[in-house]
Structure 1
Amino acid sequence: MATPVWLSIPFAGLLLCIALFPIMKADWWEEHKALVVAFWSVLTLILFTMVFGPAASLETAVDCLFNDYVTFIVLLFGLYCVSGNITFTGDLAGSPAVNVGLLAIGTLLSSCIGTTGSSMLMIRPVIRMNSWRRRRAHIMIFFIFLISNIGGCLTPVGDPPLLMGFMHGVSFFWSLHLFPVMLLNMAVLLFIFYHIDMKEYRADVADGRKPDISKPGTELKIGGGHNIIFLIAIVAAVVLSGTLSNYPMFQNADGSAAGVPLPGGKVFPWASVIEIVIILISALLSFVTTNREVRRKNHFTWGAIEEVATLFIGIFITMQPALLLLKEVGPQLGLNHPAQMFWATGILSSFLDNTPTYLVFLTTAGTLDFTQGMMTTLGIVPANMLMAISCGAVFMGAITYIGNAPNFMVKSMSDENGIAMPSFFGYLKWSVKYLVPVFLLDTVIFFL
């Protein structure tokens, strides 16, 4: 049975609430956001049951909660905990040159420990080094553009869509083909950022603000540095989960994933169970082995992770009909050119989970009967087509706050630290002004 378009109304309703209520009813939203999320989530399940029946609704809900949301939030929780136990202190002050350097380092780091890991590791140093400044929102916006999204394109570790490609036959180091695209985007965005930051920096200095340092740029200390081991362990757990599922001992006789039986006929794969256990143990050991003074210096609280956990459970549930609709219509969209794949994958990844969106269009490309390119389990996909799908899924997650997991976390942590981040539509205005022209440049140079 085809999925009716109107089943996506709760998803649109939740997105509008996330976008509008913080502007129109900020205090009310802070107090009642959980009820709003619950309303749209329950409405989705009721409408889904009316169309597909109770069994299908239960199966979809259980699969979404365990195989999507639980693995997502546990990973985010683990990285949030471990990164909160690492502190950078010293005499570096947030000048335009220093900020460009921090963003560049974080962007390159994202392909090594993932966009979420790099975002959680770098956000506190960036906030702290710029704490003397009043005009800081633009720093965090470009932080999301570069570290939370674009930087994750070089390895399957960098972003979940590329890990999904690796699990379907794309070689581990193939993503290095995307380096020229990432380098161009880094260069253009950092150039733009430098000039914006210089203007705001001079305005802050003109207001009489200056960093409280005695020996500028001479000292940088790391506290809780041993937590890097736990950070690496979490990244390794994600990669391990993606590879274990391909081994026969983690599969049933029919090739499906073996795991813990769930209501509705689904299973929670053993590979995911192992991943979660490693992440939670790493988070626990991080807290046990780190002096709480480190967390105090980081102003560590649970507010940001609580907000993300609350909002994203609703997003994951309400977007299920939209994902089903995409899977049904994807192959009929007539997309057979890299530029089309780049924008179709990217625009949908801005609002939907970029991992299933990537898989839908990779599957679509694999059915187009190409005879040359990357041999995947879904068919042969030409290199330029695979580049377009990969870049679209990874890069354009930066267009909205909900486009990629770390985006909203960075916003929440910035708000928590006194940085007045723009609203949903305010941020969208920034991305349309600065990101979309860069993506058009990508299209002309790499995908036409």
Structure 2
Amino acid sequence: MYNVGKRWLGIFTFLVFIMTSPVNVYAAQKIDESDLGNILPLYSCVPFIGMLLSLALISLIAGEWWEKNKQYVVIFWCLLFIIPFGIKYGAGLAIEQVLESIIGDYITFIVLLFGLFCVAGNIELAGDLKGNPKMNTLIIFLGAALSSWIGTTGSSMILIRPLIKSNRWRGRRKHIIIFFIFLVSNIGGCLTPVGDPPLLMGFMRGVPFFWSLELFPVWATNVALLLLIFYVIDSIMYKKDMKDGIKPPHEQGKVFKPIRLVGAHNIIFLVVIVTAVILSGVLPSLPAFIDDQGAVKGIHIFGEVTFTYPAIIEIAIILTVAFLSFKTTKKEIREANNFTWGAIEEVAILFVGIFITMIPALLILKSHGAALGLDKPAELFWITGALSSFLDNTPTYLVFMTAASTLGAKVGIDTTLGIIAQKMLMAVSCGAVFMGANTYIGNAPNLMVRSIAEENGIKMPSFFGYLLWSVACLIPVFLIDMLVFFM
């Protein structure tokens, strides 16, 4: 084992030497970063595709092995991108691209999820709920309504455990979690910039904070249709459970305890986190945070990579809040919630691989997105949504928001990118937020909810199994969206 470790260390050292040789460092200096998307070959996206297929197939074929070794799979695909990229374009550019992804996107992304995960885990909805179709539909509706105001992650983490607890007696439960992901972890977050990161990016580029409320008719249509579908499916499954002799607790003589909120002071911490997110969108526009060249001030890391002061402030606030939440909450509440670190650990590992390996795909998309000839709302709705299902929906939103701003609209939303016709911005916004529900990796809360469900004994569908549910239940609703709102 020691010799194997030495061999891998030797190989890695040799590859680093090749990447950092003067020839390759010089090569990085000769390439304009803005041209990268035009010169990168499509096969540079292979590590990203491999990352997605690993998540989809290895976890299905060898689930136990995947759980123990997924971090090594992530490292493999990351190195398969970084090393060839560094050899061809120079170590400097490779390091800069990776740091830009990690410092500029991943750290704030994972710290926000961590903060919401910690604080929500310290809130317990104690008491007993009847796990029947009516109660389940009500919980999912409340979650969908809450998601726009405390974020899809916050709403998901608060309500997923009570939902699982109330349905613990059920034999058929995976469909409940699937629709929870559809509505609470994704679609519910479209009404404010706090709800989902793409809308926050729009707010940072001049879209008014409350403009997202224009999406309410689309939100209401999707929530109503999907809740109706869910109620029908859950009623069928409920009857099958009863037919199999699985009786709900109240029919077994159990006395239900009244509902009460324990650890309610953590709601204050949730508000602070939401405020920190809003600040991260407001501070970069203030003169105190802008240098003479118009760039946001921060700590220089490497090349053009800067760790901005607004991002540092946001991170500091969120981590402080998470610490205070743990210090001021009794551990019995976390025990009652079956709180573990597994869900956030899985998201942190998988998404660092996704963020790094998708760099070529995003660079290519940024270079060619505006030239795709997309000038109709329906087209932007589907292309933004399709890519948001597999890529991070925030940069995808920005690419097609930029594309929409180049269409020469005279009337619409006045942003820092230009005027965007309202229906076009609605299409991009809904595509990015709604279709994150199409896959487990479309939005980070999806994986977190799945992980928590499996920790509690619910066998969730595989990557492709979940995709079948989304195709069957979501795509027909999105077709209605297109016909009603985006034609």
Fold conserved between structures, TM > 0.5: yes
SS in structure 2 opposite 1:262? strand
For 2:369 and 2:256, the matched residues in 1 are separated by 52
1:28-427 → structure 2 map (5 Å cutoff): 28-213=65-250, 219-427=258-466
Q: CA deviation at 1:89?
A: 1.8
Q: Once structures 1 and 2 are overlaid, which stretch shifts more, 8-17 or 253-262?
A: 253-262
Query: How many equivalent residue pairs?
Result: 448
For 2:84 and 2:434, the matched residues in 1 are separated by 33
Superimposed CA distance per residue, residues 286-334 of structure 1 (whole angstroms, 9 cap, x where no aligned partner)? 1111111101101111111111111111011000110001101101100
1:420-435 → structure 2 map (5 Å cutoff): 420-435=459-474
Structure 2 gap segments, 5+ residues each: 1-34
SS in structure 1 opposite 2:249? coil
For 2:445 and 2:67, the matched residues in 1 are separated by 20
Q: CA deviation at 1:68?
A: 1.1
AA matched with 2:232: H
Q: CA deviation at 1:132?
A: 1.1
AA matched with 1:238: V
For 2:464 and 2:291, the matched residues in 1 are separated by 46
Superimposed CA distance per residue, residues 66-106 of structure 1 (whole angstroms, 9 cap, x where no aligned partner)? 12111111111111111111111223111000000000000
Q: TM-score, with normalisation over the residues of structure 2? A: 0.90
**Shift in CA distance, 46/153, structure 1 to aligned 2, threshold 3 Å:** same
SS in structure 2 opposite 1:380? strand
Q: CA deviation at 1:368?
A: 1.1
CA contact (8 A) 1:93 1:216 kept: no
CA contact (8 A) 1:7 1:321 kept: yes
CA contact (8 A) 1:62 1:264 kept: no
For 1:132 and 1:215, the matched residues in 2 are separated by 12
Structure 1 gap segments, 5+ residues each: none
**Shift in CA distance, 221/210, structure 1 to aligned 2, threshold 3 Å:** farther
SS in structure 2 opposite 1:131? coil
Q: CA deviation at 1:371?
A: 1.0
For 2:122 and 2:58, the matched residues in 1 are separated by 33
For 1:25 and 1:218, the matched residues in 2 are separated by 42
Q: CA RMSD in A?
A: 1.2
For 1:51 and 1:231, the matched residues in 2 are separated by 46
Q: CA deviation at 1:354?
A: 0.6
Provide runs of 4+ in structure 1 moved above 6 Å.
Answer: 215-218
Point out the structure with max Rg over C-alpha: 2
AA matched with 1:404: N
> Are 2:473 and 1:438 aligned?
no
For 1:412 and 1:319, the matched residues in 2 are separated by 23
Superimposed CA distance per residue, residues 362-411 of structure 1 (whole angstroms, 9 cap, x where no aligned partner)? 11111111111111111111111111010001000100110111111111
Q: TM-score, with normalisation over the residues of structure 1? A: 0.98
**Shift in CA distance, 365/76, structure 1 to aligned 2, threshold 3 Å:** same
Q: CA deviation at 1:218?
A: 7.2
For 2:461 and 2:342, the matched residues in 1 are separated by 19
AA matched with 2:213: L
Q: CA deviation at 1:249?
A: 1.1
AA matched with 1:275: E
CA contact (8 A) 1:92 1:216 kept: no
SS in structure 1 opposite 2:307? strand
Q: CA deviation at 1:215?
A: 7.2
For 1:278 and 1:7, the matched residues in 2 are separated by 37
For 1:334 and 1:221, the matched residues in 2 are separated by 54
For 2:276 and 2:85, the matched residues in 1 are separated by 34
Matched residues, percent identical?
A: 58
Superimposed CA distance per residue, residues 114-153 of structure 1 (whole angstroms, 9 cap, x where no aligned partner)? 1111111111111111111121110110011000110111
For 1:431 and 1:50, the matched residues in 2 are separated by 40
